[in-house]
Amino acid sequence: MAHGTNAMLVGMRRREPVSVPRAPWYRTRGSWPLAAVAGLYTLAQLVLVRPGMGLGWDETVYVSQVGTQAPAAFFSAPRAWGVPLLVWPVASWSTSTELLRVYLALLSGLGLYLALRVWRGMFPTRVLAVAGALFATLWVSLFYGPQAMPNHWVAFGALATVGSFLRARADRLDRAALWGVAAGGAVMAWMRPTDAVWVTLPLLVLAAATRLWRPGLALAAGLAAGAAQWVIDAHLSYGGLAQRLHDASEVQGGLGWHFAVDDQMRGLMGRALCRPCTGALPSPVITAWWFVLPLLAAVGLAVAVRARRTGPTLLLLACAGTAALPYLFMIGYAAPRFLLPAYLLLAIPVADALFHLVGKPDGRWRPVAAALVAIGLMGHLAVQYAVLDRTVDRTTADRRDWARTAADLHRLGVRPPCLLTGHEAIPVAHYTGCSAANTSGNNANNTPAGIRRTAERIPTAALSRPGVAPPGYARGWQTHESADLDLHLAPVPRDNGPA
């Protein structure tokens, strides 16, 4: 690690030449391959990830903050307001999940396009286009592209920030690059402040070590602007920044040394959240690409050394490493989406390596190598599609169960204003139009006494797994079965009978 850092610093101090186009990066000429990849990425999301797939647990939390379908759900310490503000233009006036999915698919395609365009001139356009395609065809990238989740946007912000940082280093008069550094940092911090710090750690160290004050200050300003609301809210609602960080750590199971590499491997089979992460590891056919990825990235670094662009590639690898570090070694569970920033940062060196493997310096192809790479990529795409299709089917079915439970609750007289508590209360409450309350766990925001008092005023129900006894405060409440849940309904309030 230290050797890699020293090599990066030496390369930067020498002002290793970085090829930058004469025209500004924001000129559109010659960027059609990147636009094509981004457009196909959006189209693939709309075709392969059903726009009608209901909102997931985390999505209901984010959307409810600005939406009209249900009261705002409890907002735990790790969450930030980036996603609610991102979906506000649609969620503030429409409850259509289809419209929200189309909107987010279009935005994610645009985000990928803009993030790749920052790198024009530092790598051949064909390399950038293939890098975008590699990222866009990962099942996790397709699955989460049209969802109201933050990790995609951290990834786009990360790639744009690193590229803008290198541009600002190469040309001190490039004001657009400085704005790009600040904007990328702000987007990341806006979405997930702690992730933004991890991603940009190599940039901040490099700026201080090589006295790149202008890019460093631009990055610091962007991070501060994006995280300002989160920090202010920490002091207003959590007892200070240190307390909020502590609470966020507790929600994530306590940050510290946790070997989660095998957990992330289990997530590769399509488990959106692996917590607790148990069971057998997936087939090597599913995980093979995950092990090939770092090997190709290493080849990409070797290619960059020969092409005299070590600095950009090494910086991409360093930021990918720090982005992945907490999710591989510091939390005790896994979600595939956590590694999206690392995947996008690695995509450019990997694409560079692939072109080196299939082509000679004089432009001629290596037929055997090209055939093997093509076969490998086709197999990779087949695996990604199979996992995506299975994940979409399973997720859609789960969310339909929530919708059926909401319909059953409406039929039983639980209509807004109302309160749900217990197992899966947060997502079901959003579908029902109710408030959600929990008395324990990461989303605790009420007490048994408070729930009993509320039940005297408005329709209230406690949810539990089938056959599991309801909470103590709900004993004696009438029980009904629905989908995969038991519904325990409080006595009807005198002033608010069934509709």
User: Within a domain: residue 403?
Assistant: yes
User: Within a domain: residue 39?
Assistant: yes
Both 339 and 463 in one domain: the answer is: no
The 10 Å CB-count burial string (b at 16+, else e) for 458-488 is: bbbbbbbeeeeebbebbeebeeeebbebbbb
Domain finish residue from 304, 326, 358: 358
Both 309 and 414 in one domain: the answer is: no
Both 347 and 405 in one domain: the answer is: no
pLDDT of residue 21: 46
User: Within a domain: residue 378?
Assistant: no
Domain finish residue from 343, 358, 373: 358
pLDDT of residue 279: 83
Asked whether 166 and 312 are in contact (CB, 8 A), the reply is yes
User: Within a domain: residue 384?
Assistant: no
pLDDT of residue 24: 53
pLDDT of residue 226: 97
Domain finish residue from 304, 328, 358: 358
Both 295 and 406 in one domain: the answer is: no
- What the block records as the tokens of 468 is 């599991």
Other Cβ atoms within 10 Å of 451 Cβ, number: 21
pLDDT of residue 27: 57
User: Within a domain: residue 497?
Assistant: no
Residues contacting residue 257 through CB under 8 Å, at least 6 positions apart: 329, 330
Q: Is 418 helix (H, G, I), strand (E, B) or coil?
A: coil
User: Within a domain: residue 187?
Assistant: yes
Both 299 and 421 in one domain: the answer is: no
pLDDT of residue 10: 44
User: Within a domain: residue 20?
Assistant: yes
The 10 Å CB-count burial string (b at 16+, else e) for 102-139 is: bbbbbbbbbbbbbbbbbbbbbbebebbbbbbbbbbbbb
Both 212 and 334 in one domain: the answer is: yes
Domain span including residue 422: 398-489
What is the C-alpha separation between 440 and 445, in angstroms, rounded? Answer: 8
Strands of 460-464's sheet in order across: 435-437, 419-422, 460-464, 485-489, 478-482
Task: Please give, one letter per residue, the 3-state secondary structure of 308-364.
Answer: CCHHHHHHHHHHHHHHHHHHHHCCCCECHHHHHHHHHHHHHHHHHHHHHHHECCCCC
Both 414 and 307 in one domain: the answer is: no
Taking only Cα atoms into account, the Rg of the chain, rounded to an integer number of angstroms, comes to 24
pLDDT of residue 391: 96
Both 171 and 101 in one domain: the answer is: yes
pLDDT of residue 495: 60
Both 402 and 261 in one domain: the answer is: no
pLDDT tens for each residue of the chain, 499 residues long: 444 444 444 444 444 444 444 445 555 567 899 999 999 999 999 999 989 899 999 999 999 999 999 999 999 999 999 999 999 999 999 999 999 999 999 999 999 999 999 999 999 999 999 999 999 999 999 999 999 999 999 999 999 999 999 999 999 889 999 999 999 999 999 999 999 999 999 999 999 999 999 999 999 999 999 999 999 999 999 999 999 999 999 888 778 888 999 999 999 999 888 888 888 899 999 999 999 999 999 999 999 999 888 999 999 999 999 999 999 999 988 999 999 999 999 999 999 999 999 987 767 888 899 999 999 999 999 999 999 999 999 999 999 999 999 999 999 999 999 999 999 999 999 999 999 999 988 888 999 999 999 999 999 999 999 989 898 999 999 999 998 899 999 998 766 544 4
User: Within a domain: residue 373?
Assistant: no
Total domain count for the chain? 2
pLDDT of residue 395: 95
Beta strand 435-437 pairing with 478-482? unpaired
What is the C-alpha separation between 42 and 39, in angstroms, rounded? Answer: 5
Phi and psi (nearest 5°) for 488? -110, 110
Residues contacting residue 122 through CB under 8 Å, at least 6 positions apart: 18, 19, 20, 163, 166, 167, 309, 312
pLDDT of residue 1: 42
Both 411 and 346 in one domain: the answer is: no
Both 305 and 239 in one domain: the answer is: yes
pTM check: above 0.75: yes
Both 192 and 250 in one domain: the answer is: yes
